[in-house]
Amino acid sequence: MKLTPLFVGAMTLALIGSASAQTLTIATVNNGDMIRMQGLSSAFTEETGIELNWVVLEENTLRQNVTTDIATNGGQYDIMTIGTYEAPIWAKQGWLKPLDGLAADAEYDVDDLLPAIRGGLSVDGKLYAAPFYGESSFIMYRTDLMEKAGLTMPEAPTWEFIGEAARAMTDRANDINGICLRGKAGWGENMAFLTAMSNSFGARWFDENWKPQFDSEQWKNTLDTYLSLMADAGPAGASSNGFNENLTLFQQGKCGMWIDATVAASFVTNPNDSTVADKVGFAQAPDNGLGKRGNWLWAWSLAIPASSQNAEAAEQFINWATSKDYLATVAEKEGWANVPPGTRTSLYENPDYQAAAPFAAMTLASINSADPNNPTVDPVPYVGVQFVAIPEFAGIGTNVGQLFSAALAGQMSAADALAQAQDATTRDMTRAGYIK
Amino acid sequence: MARRVSTSTKVGFTVLAWAVALLIFSPILWTVLTAFKTEAEAIAAQPTFFPQNFTLENFGAVQDRSDYFKHAINSIIVSFGSTILGLIIAIPAAWSMAFAPSKRTKDILMWMLSTKMMPAVGVLIPIYLIFRDLRLLDTVHGLTLIMTLINLPIIVWMLYTYFKEIPVDILEAARMDGAELWNEIVHVLVPMAVPGIASTLLLNVILAWNEAFWTITLTSGRAGTLTAFISSFSSPQGLFLAKLSAASLLAIAPILLLGWFSQKQLVRGLTFGAVK
């Protein structure tokens, strides 16, 4: 039959593909720092003879793929890029191999990892994922507009000051919004910001018995403050704004302040992309004097699934990619400003890095002030600053995010949004077995 | 007799047809233009239509990061392999449904179609487990198999409708002349249904070529097709628009050429039986 050669060809190709020397399959997320690591990784292969097979995916696709694989013990990947949300959940499930080798390696110096980040990636004192880069959130503001408004930004402002400044900086005639905040629905979108904000208002997602707290005075204050701030000083159509949209607005000079990820600092101060590059100041996320600030904590990290057949080689690679030497290599080849931030204390003590990144000190202060193991004013049964590290949170968080986004768009009142959030979350948590 | 059409109607319809065609084509055109821009120009606040600094660097960067030809070969094997395998199964199935129907034929056809109504993610975990146990994860033959199964209902349905248009008398005449079942299908039915089979082949090759969900989920680098290749350049932070466009252009180019050269066949097949 004529078709036979085609199939023989297909089978042969497939067999060739599966029979090779030791190869690590690495699933990672498509962003600048990871692509740079991929580019530099030929040095690792030359050094060790271990081949690398890269699977680079967009964040949501990556999350779906690696979750499917790890939950079914599929074994497609030897190294997975995961965040501080997945790390504690997966570690508790026994899906990840502990990185004991790194902890024992004096040269790797595990104590150099920033304590807040290390805490977010450890369970019972054991490290389950090594941070590749970390971030918190802080305030980026226009120094010129602040001066024009006759105000001075403190290093660690209160929400009251932010409200006053945002309203004073707003100039509708010139299309300048006092403040740009996330409004797009999603657990990693508006809920990352609002959950972190609620911590500084003394609110919490659940009490110690997993009962949702959206009926509390603290959540009402959080949402009312957010909505009135956005109504008085926010951009039009804010309910569809996420990180990118706000970045563009800020770079075009249309925002007086923006509270978002610390990694944005290098974008807004880059004169190639930003029209306001030389007029940006930084301050810590606001608080209300309750001991918690409205900043989050996230780290893209490398972990080894329990199903990996190449755990030893995988740990070798993770050691290479998250070491001090790697940071030095990036600095040498691409400059200090391009080094992956937010993982090691020694980086922030390095004068070369401090000179190249004017926002370094504020980034470090923000990361250090977030505590994923103790995120709220009142005690909670969960881990996580801008999320609740339970598997159900992605769904619940997105539901609530849609309600709050609808409130921002004026489709429902704050009271209705909170009441519906309380009902929906109570139902989901009861169904999931948290509430008996 | 041909209907008389006034010049103004002709012009009107021509303009309308061009407008619709341009509207549909515009995202592809934008992708093509963006592929030749620098990254900075691609995300500029004031977008430019034509590349101001024409560059081919995106294509080089894309090839450096990910092996285009490996993915393209996988795409060709999976899309053609799965469609041909599907045709081998579907031609006898459609023959029996069209020419030797039973009481349950209609139900079986509906049931086959109903499998397409379920969202793919609904069967993700069982399929993933089966693939894991049969060691089919990240293999080209595994992907070919799943693609065959996904497109089989469409292939059977399309062939069934084409076969129904063929007069049963011709097949009976062949049988009277002593043709066995095999000869009847291969030498009588198939030659008459060539336009139909060709358009089924083309359409399903395109469907398999563009399939993304299973391709991305069931592969991890070795067996990935061009859809996996594109997705590796997609980023929610919009950082690599020009590279994503270059990757997309490379990925659609082969199938675009195939469609271009076979458009007569495709149109003929799709309208086959419309006029009797």
The predicted pLDDT at position B271 comes to 65
pTM of the model: 0.82
Closest CA of chain A from B234, distance in Å:
6
| B253 within a domain of the structure (yes/no) | no
**What confidence category does residue B236 fall into, taking pLDDT thresholds of 50, 70 and 90?**
low
- CA separation, residue A109 to residues A51, A52, A83, A311, A324 (Å): 26, 25, 21, 20, 9
Do A276 and A386 reside in the same domain of the chain? Answer: yes
The predicted pLDDT at position A3 comes to 45
Q: Could you give the CA distance from residue A357 to residue A268 in angstroms, rounded to a whole number?
A: 12
| A4 within a domain of the structure (yes/no) | no
- Whether A8 and chain B come into contact, CB under 8 Å, resolves to no
Interface predicted TM-score (ipTM): 0.77
Do A150 and A209 reside in the same domain of the chain? Answer: yes
| A436 within a domain of the structure (yes/no) | no
| pLDDT, tens digit (0-9, with 9 covering 90-100), for B119-135 | 888 899 999 999 999 99
> Which among A219, A139, A151 has a CA at the least distance from the CA of A417?
A219
- A36-50, A183-197, B77-91, B226-240: segment of lowest average pLDDT: B226-240
Chain A residues whose beta carbon lies within 8 Å of the beta carbon of residue B237: 31, 243-244
Q: Which of A2, A56, A244 to mutate to test the interface with B (most CBs of B within 10 A)?
A: A56
Do A103 and A183 reside in the same domain of the chain? Answer: no
Nearest by CB to A31, from B84, B139, B239: name it. Answer: B239
Q: Could you give the CA distance from residue B137 to residue B139 in angstroms, rounded to a whole number?
A: 6
Q: What CATH number did the domain enclosing B195 receive?
A: 1.10.3720.10
**Which is higher by pLDDT, A13 or A80?**
A80
pLDDT of A106 above 80:
yes
- Whether B81 and chain A come into contact, CB under 8 Å, resolves to yes
Do A265 and A161 reside in the same domain of the chain? Answer: yes
Q: Which of A8, A76, A276 to mutate to test the interface with B (most CBs of B within 10 A)?
A: A76
Do A64 and A110 reside in the same domain of the chain? Answer: yes
Q: What angle do CA B237, A113, A31 make, to 5 degrees?
A: 15
Q: Nearest residue of A to residue B231 by CA position?
A: A57
Do A280 and A421 reside in the same domain of the chain? Answer: yes
Q: What CATH number did the domain enclosing A352 receive?
A: 3.40.190.10
pLDDT of A26 above 90:
yes
Chain A residues whose beta carbon lies within 8 Å of the beta carbon of residue B129: 72
The predicted pLDDT at position B235 comes to 73
The predicted pLDDT at position B239 comes to 66
| A13 within a domain of the structure (yes/no) | no
Do A381 and A353 reside in the same domain of the chain? Answer: no
Do A22 and A108 reside in the same domain of the chain? Answer: yes
Work out the widest C-alpha separation in chain B, in whole angstroms.
74
Across residues B156-168, what is the average pLDDT? Answer: 90
Inspect the interface and report whether the beta carbons of A68 and B140 lie closer than 8 Å: no
pLDDT of A2 above 50:
no
> Which among A29, A36, A82, A16 has a CA at the least distance from the CA of A55?
A29
Inspect the interface and report whether the beta carbons of A75 and B137 lie closer than 8 Å: yes
Last residue in a domain, options A360, A386, A407: A360
Q: Could you count the other beta carbons within 10 Å of the beta carbon of residue A374?
A: 13
Q: Which of B220, B225, B243 to mutate to test the interface with A (most CBs of A within 10 A)?
A: B220
Structural domain boundaries enclosing A340: 18-128+297-360
- Whether B239 and chain A come into contact, CB under 8 Å, resolves to yes
CB-CB contact of A295 with A138 (8 Å): yes
Nearest by CB to B132, from A9, A31, A74: name it. Answer: A74
The predicted pLDDT at position A15 comes to 45
Across residues A286-305, what is the average pLDDT? Answer: 94
Inspect the interface and report whether the beta carbons of B84 and A54 lie closer than 8 Å: no
Q: Nearest residue of A to residue B219 by CA position?
A: A76
**What confidence category does residue A16 fall into, taking pLDDT thresholds of 50, 70 and 90?**
very low
Do A277 and A330 reside in the same domain of the chain? Answer: no
Do A312 and A285 reside in the same domain of the chain? Answer: no
Structural domain boundaries enclosing B213: 66-232
The predicted pLDDT at position B52 comes to 87
